[in-house]
């Protein structure tokens, strides 16, 4: 790996930590953190959804999904139901009631973070990040096959 590549990935890691810090600060009032919010948002998009699907969608290990689901269940945000061989995850009515409020707060934090970039730069960043995610998700899927 070249020095420039290390610098790029180092900067990417730093930016990710800063975004996480800002989002965590926003989510504190809802007793949530970034990882829990990501899972709740995924459930809202995919429900009813299995924990295996959540693991793949979020690109996180299955034990982390299990732990996060259990905690969100304790907090009253999700419930699990048995469906054949799988346990499916869904939002509770409490989560549905709060979802748009929480999402609006998170979206505002995102806007504040990205306001320094022009719309063109934001589009470029999105394109590059999507390209990296797409490429590396394919590699990950091939390795697990």
Please give the model's pTM, rounded to 2 decimal places: 0.80
| pLDDT of res. 52 | 93
91: its two tokens: 């939002």
Query: What's residue 24's pLDDT?
Result: 96
Cα 82 to Cα 28, 56, 78, 79: the distances in Å are 31, 20, 14, 10
Contact 40, 86 (CB under 8 A): no
* CATH fit for domain 3-114, picks 3.40.190.10, 3.40.50.720, 3.30.200.20, 1.10.10.10: 1.10.10.10
Q: Which two tokens stand for residue 131?
A: 């390209």
Rounded mean pLDDT, 3-11: 84
Give per-residue pLDDT as tens, 73-121.
Answer: 999 999 999 877 778 999 999 999 999 999 999 999 999 999 999 999 9
> For the chain, which residues make up each domain, given as ranges?
3-114, 118-145
Question: For position 5, what pLDDT does the model report?
Answer: 76
Q: In what order do the strands lie in the sheet with 78-83?
A: 49-50, 86-91, 78-83
Max distance between CA atoms of the chain, in angstroms, equals 51
pLDDT in tens, 61-70: 999 999 999 9
* pLDDT class of 140 with cuts at 50, 70, 90: low
pLDDT digits (tens, 9 = 90+) for 43-85: 999 999 999 999 999 989 999 999 999 999 999 999 999 877 7
Residue 141 pLDDT: 55
Q: How many angstroms from the chain centroid is the CA of residue 30?
A: 16
């Amino acid at each position: 790996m070249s020095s420039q590549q290390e610098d790029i990935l180092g900067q990417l890691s730093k930016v990710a930590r800063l975004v996480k810090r800002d989002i965590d600060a926003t989510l504190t009032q809802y007793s949530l953190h970034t990882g829990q919010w990501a899972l709740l948002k995924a459930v809202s998009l995919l429900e009813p959804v299995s924990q295996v699907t959540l693991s793949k969608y979020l690109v996180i290990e299955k034990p982390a999904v299990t732990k996060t689901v259990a905690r969100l269940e304790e907090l009253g945000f999700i419930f699990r139901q048995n469906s054949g061989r799988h346990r499916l995850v869904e939002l509770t009515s409490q989560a549905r009631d709060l979802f748009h409020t929480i999402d609006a707060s998170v979206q505002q934090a995102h806007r504040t973070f990205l306001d320094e970039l022009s719309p063109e730069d934001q589009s470029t960043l999105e394109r590059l990040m999507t390209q990296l995610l797409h490429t590396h998700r394919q590699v990950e899927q091939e390795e697990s096959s």
